Structures are given as C-alpha cells and as structure tokens.
Amino acid sequence: MGQSSTTAGAVVWGSSEHGQLGLGSLPAEDRAVAPRLLEGLRAVPVKQVVCGANFSGAVTEGGEVYMWGYGKDGQLGHGDTKDVHMPRALRSLQSKVIRSVSCGEHHAAAVSEGGALFTWGRGQNGRLGHGSTDNELLPKAVELLSGHAVASVACGEFHTACVLQSAPHVYTWGLGLSGRLGHGDESDRYSPSFVEAFTGMQIFALACGGHHTAAVGEQCQVMTWGGGAFGKLGHGNRLAQTTPKVVIALQGKRVVQVALGPHHSAALTQRGEVFTWGQAGRLGHASQGAEVDEMLPRQVAALSHVAVAQISCGHSHCAAVTETGDVWAWGSARTYGHTEPGAYPNVPTMIKVLTGKAIVHVACGVSHNIALSDYRRLQARAGHRGGRSDGEDRLRSTPDGKKEALESRPAVTLKGLMLDTTIHKAPWDEGGERDGSPLSSQKETAFLNSELKSYQEQTLRLAKLLQETRTKLETLQNENSFLKSELEVMHQCSNDADERLDTLRRHFNERLREMERRYNDKERSWRETFSRLRSHLGVGAVAEPSHEEDDTPGLAMLEEEVQNQEPTAPASGEAAGAAAAAAVTAMGSGARLAAPETAVPAEAGASTQAAGAGATSGARSRSSGLGALFTGGPTAP
C-alpha cells in the first residue's frame, strides 16, 4: 500500500453493483469484491463509516461528509439522482461540522456538532421529517427540531428516530405500520413526534431496522417495538408491539449497543457478549445445530471466547469487531468476506485477511460492508480496559465487579501492530500475502470449491423458495378463478333480476291500462243508462249517481216501487209525478227524478179525473218499460 498520511483507513468488500464500494466502475465479473482498501479515502482521516441499502458514507475527523453508491432517490445528497462510484464530498454540508451520519434504505441523516439535524433522500411516508413526502436531493435541516440539540440519529428502511441531548429525549417519524414509531398506533408521522413512553427516561442508544425499533435506556435495559415477525422483538412471540416494551430476557445483561436488520436483532453487553434473535440464517447459532427462528435473545456461543466491542446487522448477515481489532462475520456467504476454504455461512468466523489491521468499526449494508481501520483508536481502546464502547464509541465506566471480570480476560497485546503513520501492504492488495505465506493454487481451488458449494446450497434454497412461491401462486390463481366464476354467476343473477323487473313493470303497466279502459267503459255505460232513463221517464233532469257498483240496489228498488203501484187513478196529475219522484228518491244512492213543479188549477180537477183511467194505464206502461230498461228484457205489450 505504501505510505499514508493518516493512521485511519476504510476497507470495503461485497457487492459493487451500484458503486457502493467506492472502487470506481468495475466490470461485471469483478463486482463481488474481497476485502480491499478504499483508495478514495486513503488520504482522508476517517472517523466513521456507514452503509445504506446500496450506498455508503463516511465522516472525517474534521466533520466533512463523503457519500457514494446508488443515488436514484437523492440519498447521496449531491443534488441529483445519479450513481456515484467513488467517494465524493458533500458540498452542501461543507460549512457544517458533522458529528455523525446514519443511512437507511433510501435516505440518510446527519447530526452537526451544534446538534442540528439534516435529512435527505426519499421522503415517502414522511421519513425525512419535513412535514411532507417529497424527496430531497440536498441535505435539509429538520425545522421542527431546530430549537433542540440532537445527540444521535438512526435511520431504518422506512422510518427515522433521534435522541435529544435534553428532555424530552426520543422522537420518531416516517412509516407507522406495525407500530414501529412507538406512538401506540400505526399512523404515519411526517414530522418528528415525541415518544411519550420515554417521558422522564434517559435513552442512551437507538437503532432502527426494517420494521422495528430498539432503544437502550437506564440501567442498560433494552426496549423494542414494531413488527414482531420471526420473533425479532425478543418478547417470546411474533406479535407486533406499538409501544416500547422491555426485553425481559436481557434484563441484568447491561446492554450497551443494539443493532437491527430487516428481520433480526443483536445486542452487545458490557462484558463483550453478543445476543441475537429473530429470523434464522443470520443469527450465528448454526454451530449448535440447525438454526431456527429465535423469539428470545440467545447468546452467540461461537463468540464467547472473545470480547466484542461493536456489532452491525446487514440485510441477511452480521459482523462483530473485537477488542483486539479482529472482525468476525456470519450470514450471507456473498457478503461476509471469508476467503478461506470451509467457511460455513452461518457460523461466526474470523475474517483472517483483516487480522492485524486494527479494525475498530464495521458497517453492514444489504450486500456490502465497510470496516474502519484506526491504529490510534485501537490503542486508546486498549488503554480503557475498565470501559466498554457503544455504537458511537462512547466509553462508559463499568461497576467494579464487571471491571474485574473484563480484566480477568487475556490481556490484549499490540505487539506487531503498526502504531505510526506507516500502513504495511495489506493482503487485499495485488500480489499480497495471507497469513504470511503465498496463497497456493491448491488453496485457491479449495476456496473456489467451497464458494461453489455455498452457491449450490443457495441455489437449492432459492429453487425451494421458487417452488413454494409457484404453489402459492397456483393456489391464488385457483381462488381467483373461483371468485371470477362466482362473480359471473352474480352478474347473471343480476341480469335475470333486471329482466324479471322489466317483465313485472310491463305487466303492471298493461294491467293499469286495462283498468283505465274498463273504468272508461263503465263510465260511458252509466252515462248512456241514465240518459235513456231520463228520456224514457219524461221527467226533468236525473242526477247521475257515483260510478260504484253499490248503486245497483237503488235502481232495483226504483223498479220494484214502480211495479208495486196500485192501478187506482190519482186525485190529480200531480200525484203521478209525485209518485215517480218518490220512487226515484227511494233508490238511496243519490239518484233522483225531478218532478215538474207546474201546479194544476182546481177548476181542471174534473177533466183530470175524467182522464184517470188513461193516466193509470200510462203509469203501468211506464212501469213495464222501466223494468225492461234495468232487466234488459223486452217491454210487455
């Protein structure tokens, strides 16, 4: 490697598909990279390295920020959406002294020395905290927290959390699904919202995963909340938790750091012990048998003989840095950097190419990793044997009992480590050596065979997953076909109902028209009947009865009354008219015969009597004619 002006450097390995390793544009066959020095930061005094999903960042001792990798959503903060394949300084923050940076899946956040918080990248679900869902291509201050000093920030896949230097301490915002924000509900928050569960409580560390959140509080107890799939909350079940809940299994362990992946979690204690839980295949328990999902924290036995100083969780793997500067990793074979034959994917194994390189910090992304090499910091760490380091390298004194337990471990020797500014040629350089001896072709073949075996195992798992997916898809297709047929039946029933309704409507209209026609015929018949009655009786106007069938008895009474009249001659012509009028009145249905009101003079009585017989005969003739009128029969002669 030659000479360097700094004791710190960054080492990268894993996938470089989007330039997230910062090694420039690499051909497709070289995108899976073994541990290699990041030349773009060779002359830069780096103090922090971070990984997002497919992008990376670094903070220098002078508070300058570098970003590179995938930039589609503006997560690099350079003012555009282009990928960047080498570390590039973030110019918009050059006037600020940045203390730390955190990266999520598609967004990032930075905290300045003055406690100001800046966010940028994808704004979906309000994860940037600016009160909207807009993307930000440049770092933008979170105005709601402008009056507070932020101590630290953590970015998850879809949400963000921060700790303030003064009360109230914890704020969260972004996607609220599964209760990952800790507010007791699943609502999104577009601006920082205080987590009331932490009222009056001091929080020392925060971590955000894909779907859950964790905090380390007073007495070093761990609290988790959010989605509970695979048991990643550590509460002994797979249930979601919408408010912070203490992880009972870790009480008394004095945890100093937590790290979260999408579906797994890890915790580091003051004694250097590592506990993991959640989804199998990345927990590091395979050395104790087939690994299964762990719903309660379980100590990683393979690391029990070393003192771990810092841990990190990637998408499907984990890494740990020891007090002596070694790196152990487990999980996805393509990302954890092992180059020795026989490395089993889910058994914690030391990355030998990094042995003696004074690694003090490691960060894991989806498929890449960055480690920070710093001889000076490692030396300082060795001088603080009574303390432990958390995720931000803050040293905390331990109780006397714990201190004695730490000192009872084997002493750390720095013999052989270069503490000056000269960094010797590393094994990842071209033509270098591993473990002091040339790498023979036989070892290369064995290594390639082990990698091939690992890929074959992954291919088999993928094939099984594809088969399960295919089965589920076929089931869904069958259900869809059934629902489609049901929908067609319902549609046909609806059409039949419409047709029946149209038929009923048509029949109703026809019936209504028929009733109207019959009504009109009946009305016309009544009018004709009464017209004939008036003309036959030869009397005045005859009032038309109502057209109800109940009027018929009145007509029958009229006929009976006329037929029952005695054949005696009335005293005068008035009598005949009066009798006819009385008979009509007797109908009871309102029909009346109006008799002439012409008075007969007294002197005409004799002539009237003389005509009595003729009048009687005329009355009988009318009676017979009236009967024929209502009975429909012929008139008697």
Which pairing describes strands 294-299 and 274-278: parallel, antiparallel, or unpaired? antiparallel
Which one, of 551, 531, 604, lies nearest residue 574 by Cα?
604
Residues 125-135 have pLDDT tens digits of 999 999 999 99
Residues 117-169 have pLDDT tens digits of 999 999 999 999 999 999 999 999 999 999 899 999 999 999 999 999 987 78
CA-based radius of gyration for the chain? 51
Place of tokens 């993307």: 135
Distances (CA, A) of 196 to 175, 178, 225: 18, 17, 14
According to the model, what pLDDT value does residue 440 have? 52
Strands, sheet with 317-322, edge to edge from the N-terminal-most edge strand: 308-313, 317-322, 327-331, 349-350
- Across the range 544-559, mean pLDDT stands at 49
What percentage of residues in the chain have a pLDDT greater than 90?
52
The mean of the pLDDT values for the chain is 78
According to the model, what pLDDT value does residue 474 have? 87
DSSP notation for 270-315: TTS-EEEEESTTSSS-GGGSS---EEEEEE-GGGTTS-EEEEEE-S
According to the model, what pLDDT value does residue 312 have? 98
Which pairing describes strands 317-322 and 327-331: parallel, antiparallel, or unpaired? antiparallel
- Domain spans of the chain? 8-439, 440-537, 538-596+607-631
Separation of alpha carbons 11 and 35, rounded Å: 6
According to the model, what pLDDT value does residue 535 have? 86
Strands, sheet with 222-226, edge to edge from the N-terminal-most edge strand: 203-208, 212-217, 222-226, 241-246
According to the model, what pLDDT value does residue 342 have? 52
Q: Label residues 34-56 b or e (16+ Cβ within 10 Å = b).
A: ebbbbebbbebbbbbbbbbbbbb
Place of tokens 């106007």: 541
DSSP notation for 496-538: HHHHHHHHHHHHHHHHHHHHHHHHHHHHHHHHHHHHHHHHHHT
What does the block give as tokens for 614?
A: 């003729």
Separation of alpha carbons 183 and 197, rounded Å: 8
33: amino acid identity, one letter = V
Instruction: Give yes or no for residue 270 having a pLDDT over 60.
Output: yes
Separation of alpha carbons 158 and 560, rounded Å: 102
More confident call, 160 vs 635: 160
According to the model, what pLDDT value does residue 377 have? 83
Which one, of 200, 207, 129, lies nearest residue 167 by Cα?
200
Res. 495 pLDDT band, cuts 50 70 90: confident
Residues 287-297 have pLDDT tens digits of 666 789 999 99
Q: Note whether 187 and 176 are within 8 A (CB).
A: yes
More confident call, 468 vs 246: 246
Phi, psi of 588 (to 5 degrees): 75, 0
Q: Label residues 301-332 b or e (16+ Cβ within 10 Å = b).
A: ebbeebbbbbbbbbbbbbbbbbbbbbbbbbbb
- Pairs from 507-512 (Cβ < 8 Å, separation ≥ 24): none
Name beta bridge partners: 207.
214
251: amino acid identity, one letter = Q
Q: Looking at 23-144, which runs of residues are DSSP E strands?
A: 32-37, 46-51, 55-60, 65-69, 84-89, 98-103, 107-112, 117-121, 136-141
More confident call, 135 vs 605: 135
Instruction: Give yes or no for residue 572 having a pLDDT over 70.
Output: no
According to the model, what pLDDT value does residue 197 have? 95
Q: Note whether 188 and 180 are within 8 A (CB).
A: no
Q: Note whether 269 and 321 are within 8 A (CB).
A: no
Which one, of 285, 283, 396, 377, lies nearest residue 323 by Cα?
377
What percentage of residues in the chain have a pLDDT greater than 70?
69
SS3 442: helix
Separation of alpha carbons 138 and 85, rounded Å: 18
Separation of alpha carbons 72 and 321, rounded Å: 32
According to the model, what pLDDT value does residue 636 have? 38
CATH top class, domain 8-439: mainly beta
More confident call, 168 vs 488: 488
According to the model, what pLDDT value does residue 30 have? 62
Separation of alpha carbons 55 and 22, rounded Å: 9
Q: Note whether 288 and 267 are within 8 A (CB).
A: no
More confident call, 612 vs 298: 298
Count CB atoms within 10 A of the CB of residue 627: 18
Which one, of 73, 68, 74, 118, lies nearest residue 88 by Cα?
68
Separation of alpha carbons 589 and 610, rounded Å: 37
Residues 333-391 have pLDDT tens digits of 556 565 555 556 788 999 999 999 999 999 999 999 999 998 888 877 766 544 444 43
With 0-12 CB in 10 A as exposed, 13-18 as middle and 19+ as buried, what is 33? middle
Instruction: Give yes or no for residue 448 having a pLDDT over 80.
Output: no
Instruction: Give yes or no for residue 558 having a pLDDT over 90.
Output: no
